[in-house]
Amino acid sequence: MKIAVAGAGALGGRVGIQLHESGVDVTLIDKWEEHVNAINEKGMEVHTEDKVYQVPVKAKLLEDIDESYDLIIILTKAMYAEDMLQALYEKNSIHAETAILTMMNGLGHGDRLAKYVSKDRIYLAVTMWTAGLKGPGQIVLTGSGGIQIQRADGIASKMTEEINDIFNTANLNSIISRDVQHSIWAKATLNSVLNPLCSILDKRIGEFAAYGAVIEMITPIIEEIIEVAGARGVNLDFDASLEKIKAAFPDSAAGLHYPSMHQDLAKGVQTEVDYLNGKISEYGKEYGIKTPNNDMITHLIHQLEMKNH
């Protein structure tokens, strides 16, 4: 199976490296010329807790793509996914049987991808793997994680099993989910609380958690998300959602870290807020559910984005 990882950032790099090391024919695709050139010149430089080594994984700039793939894993930032898919279509990289798998953060990706391929060729995934970029062609791999996947229409298939097996051969700890939408919404709830609030307040997760009334503060945000999720047919539990967020508070978990949205704002790049709190607001309007907290959070993040332009 020929696989492309579209978006060779930190997580895309990790997935691509592990697939390559397991013997898969995989190509990293990205628009960052310096990054792609560095990978092709010396391989991806991998930094772990105790060693540094090179992995000779293939990498191509989007404009240089000249082949088709059996599976394309979308790991761009959410707002760039459709542009990536459109470009791959124009280059005939998506053939009649190509499967598209999204592992992006946020909500609504299945509906977006359905503009390009039928739902029986779309696969939704949620992952708890992490990674970091040190610079062009340099990636930091620490910790462990896992992946849950399911075909977008919820129907079991041979291709689902094949993708799952490929991921597990690459030690990506994959399972076939019976309800991946629930997992996607659960992760989106956490990201819709910690990402924007730590960004607005300019705090690490642990610093944010140290506020004495933090639970009171985040409760109405979670309640809005749960109501909207219910209208979409996803039943989230408040206590479980709150515990998932609280589990990130300790220093031994994510307490010492700034969330990715904070990092994006610091770099002066667009955030994914429209696919988190913004998507909650959009769905709320669709179902007649008021979401004032998520509305305001979306506006505040967009205000901060304006400072970078």
Judged by DSSP in three states, 32 sits in: coil
* CB of 126 closer than 8 Å to CB of 180: yes
Kind of pairing, strands 25-30 and 132-135? unpaired
d(CA 103, CA 109): 9
H or E segment to which residue 132 belongs: strand 132-135
* CB of 118 closer than 8 Å to CB of 134: no
Exposed / middle / buried, residue 245 (Cβ in 10 Å: 0-12, 13-18, 19+): buried
* CB of 102 closer than 8 Å to CB of 124: yes
* CB of 244 closer than 8 Å to CB of 226: no
One DSSP character per residue, 59-116 reads EEEGGG--S-EEEEEE-S-GGGHHHHHHHHHHTT-EEEEEEEEE--SSS-HHHHHTTT
From the list 60, 77, 187, 279, the catalytic residue is: 187
Reference 30, options 68, 69, 87, 70; nearest CA is 87
One DSSP character per residue, 289-305 reads ---HHHHHHHHHHHHHH
Q: Catalytic residue at 58?
A: no
How is residue 148 annotated by DSSP?
E
Where in the sequence numbering do the catalytic residues fall? 187
